[in-house]
Structure 1
Amino acid sequence: MQSPLRHGKAALGTTIATGALAALSQAPDRASRLLRHRYPTVAVTGMTGVGKTRLADRLSRRASTQAAADAGQDVGSAVMERRTRRNARLRGYRFRVVPGENAATRLGALDEVFHDEPVDGVLHVVAHGHATPRRTGGTSGTALASREEQLAAELEDWSITAHRIASMAVRRERPTWLVIAVTKADLFADDIDAAVHYYSPGSGSAFGDKLDELRALAGGAKLSIDVLPVCAQGGGKKSALPDRTATELLGRLELRLAQLSGHV
């Protein structure tokens, strides 16, 4: 017959082992929650030619030489690119730059960031009709497109992304945030306020109406929307948008991302 002391030790050992197994089983979930809290995932979306990768490079403080080399490319990436921003407090972001080209890789990237591994926030990049025109595959020469054509293409691109955002937002309990980054502000430096108004909810513009539709589908209380002008690279002191002003605009965007992510 087993003694009470030995029986108690066996029971204690079983309890400890059970607790250890439970802790181990919960460890991946806890680690995942901690990672998402400290390094939320941000989808960077927008049509080709608006400067998504260059903006992600600036936000992630990527090496300037590599960023400059990428900026010189005249074609957008056909695959999803990843950037990570880290700071001394062990906080930052994991950026997922979705290809702008209407290709199978883009649709796969959209599925990944909005369905398979839903992101914590969305940074949608627009250029107020000043996106760099891209040549179609297999053609040579300079691509041409009017500002009106670029605005129309931008709106069509947004319709696809907005549908994915709404689908993601209705499936989750916590709010989703969206920041519209109006980039290339140096090309419309005297008209920045009007550009921000065009991309704002309730503005009555074509883009504003699309945002109102999105909020109605996703639930206004679950989707916060900010519109901020930005310029990845400014010019000299006498330029329309000096580098100092561009840095200030980028700083405002960084601050808002930090606020939305709970970093400040």
Structure 2
Amino acid sequence: MQSPLRHGKAAIGTTIAGGALAALSQAPERASRLLRHRYPTVAVTGMTGVGKTRLADRLSRRASSQASVDAGADVGSATMERRTRRNARLRGYRFRVVPGENAATRLGALDEVFHDEPVDGVLHVVANGYATPRRTAGTTGAAVATREQQLAAELEDWSITAHRVASMAVRRERPTWLVIAVTKADLFADDLEAAVRYYSPGSGSPFGDKLDELRALAGGAKLSIDVLPVCAEGGGKKSAMPDKAAAELLNRLELRIAQLCGHV
């Protein structure tokens, strides 16, 4: 017959072992929460030609090679690209750049960021109708598109992304914020306010109406929406968007993302 003392030790041993196993089983979840807190994930979406990768490079402090800059005028990435921003305080962001081409890889990337591993926020990139036209695969020569056609293409592209955002927002806690980044601001530097207004909720514009629909589906209080102009690359002092002005716009965008992610 087992002594009470030995039985007690066995019970304590079982309790300790059970606690250790429970701690081990919770460790990956805790690590995941810590990683998400320090490095929230941001989906960078938008149609091809708006400059998503270039903007993600600037936000992540990654220098784009000249070859990729030159190639960027002709082709876009067909696969999801990843960028990570880190600082000395062990905080930053994990950017997921969703390809803009209407291909199976794009749909797969959208599924990943809005279903498989839901992101914390969305940086949707538009260009006020000034997206670089892309050639259809297999064709040669310069691509041509009017600003009206590009604005219509932006709206169609946003409808696809907005559907994914809404479906996630009603079922899960994420994403909690959306920033519309209006790139290529150097091309409409004298009309920034009008561009921001066009992409804002409640503006009565086609894009604004789409945002109003999204807020109605997702819950206006649950999903915050900001609209900010940005220019990934400035020019000389006499240009429409000097380097200093472009840096100020980029800093405003970075600050807002930091606020939304709880870094400041």
Report the TM-score range of the alignment, normalised by the length of the smaller protein.
over 0.9
Task: Identify the residue that residue 162 of structure 2 maps to in structure 1.
Answer: 162
Task: Identify the residue that residue 47 of structure 2 maps to in structure 1.
Answer: 47
CA contact (8 A) 2:166 2:217 kept: yes
Counterpart AA for 1:134: R
CA distance in 1, matches of 2:225, 2:66: 30
CA distance in 1, matches of 2:201, 2:32: 34
Task: Identify the residue that residue 27 of structure 1 maps to in structure 2.
Answer: 27
CA distance in 2, matches of 1:84, 1:161: 22
Task: Identify the residue that residue 3 of structure 1 maps to in structure 2.
Answer: 3
CA contact (8 A) 1:175 1:222 kept: no
Shift in CA distance, 77/168, structure 1 to aligned 2, threshold 3 Å: same
- Does residue 117 (structure 1) correspond to residue 117 (structure 2)? The answer is yes
Deviates more, 1:166-175 or 1:14-23: 166-175
Give the SS at the match of 2:221.
helix
CA distance in 2, matches of 1:166, 1:107: 16
Q: Percent identity?
A: 87
- Once the two structures are superposed, residues 41-89 of structure 1 have per-residue CA deviations (whole angstroms, 9 ceiling, x without a partner) of 1100000000000000000001x2x344322112000000010111111
Task: Identify the residue that residue 88 of structure 1 maps to in structure 2.
Answer: 88
Shift in CA distance, 160/197, structure 1 to aligned 2, threshold 3 Å: same
CA contact (8 A) 2:198 2:208 kept: yes
Task: Identify the residue that residue 146 of structure 1 maps to in structure 2.
Answer: 146
CA distance in 2, matches of 1:131, 1:8: 73
How big is the shift at 1:6?
Answer: 1.9
Task: Identify the residue that residue 70 of structure 1 maps to in structure 2.
Answer: 68
Aligned-pair Cα RMSD in Å? 1.0
CA distance in 1, matches of 2:246, 2:228: 12
- Once the two structures are superposed, residues 100-140 of structure 1 have per-residue CA deviations (whole angstroms, 9 ceiling, x without a partner) of 00011111111111111111100000000000000001110
How big is the shift at 1:174?
Answer: 5.8
- Once the two structures are superposed, residues 151-208 of structure 1 have per-residue CA deviations (whole angstroms, 9 ceiling, x without a partner) of 0101010011000000010011366100000000000000111000000000011100
Task: Identify the residue that residue 184 of structure 1 maps to in structure 2.
Answer: 184
CA contact (8 A) 1:174 1:222 kept: no
CA distance in 1, matches of 2:221, 2:54: 32
- Once the two structures are superposed, residues 201-245 of structure 1 have per-residue CA deviations (whole angstroms, 9 ceiling, x without a partner) of 000111001100110111111110000000000001111100011
Task: Identify the residue that residue 128 of structure 2 maps to in structure 1.
Answer: 128
CA distance in 2, matches of 1:174, 1:111: 14
Give the SS at the match of 1:221.
coil
CA distance in 1, matches of 2:132, 2:149: 12
How big is the shift at 1:2?
Answer: 2.2
CA distance in 2, matches of 1:111, 1:19: 37
CA contact (8 A) 2:118 2:175 kept: no
CA contact (8 A) 2:119 2:174 kept: no
Unaligned runs of 5+ in 2: none
CA distance in 2, matches of 1:242, 1:98: 29
Unaligned runs of 5+ in 1: none
Shift in CA distance, 216/185, structure 1 to aligned 2, threshold 3 Å: same
Give the SS at the match of 1:72.
helix
Q: TM-score normalized by structure 1?
A: 0.97
Counterpart AA for 2:70: G
CA distance in 2, matches of 1:69, 1:238: 27
CA contact (8 A) 1:42 1:96 kept: yes
CA distance in 1, matches of 2:8, 2:115: 49
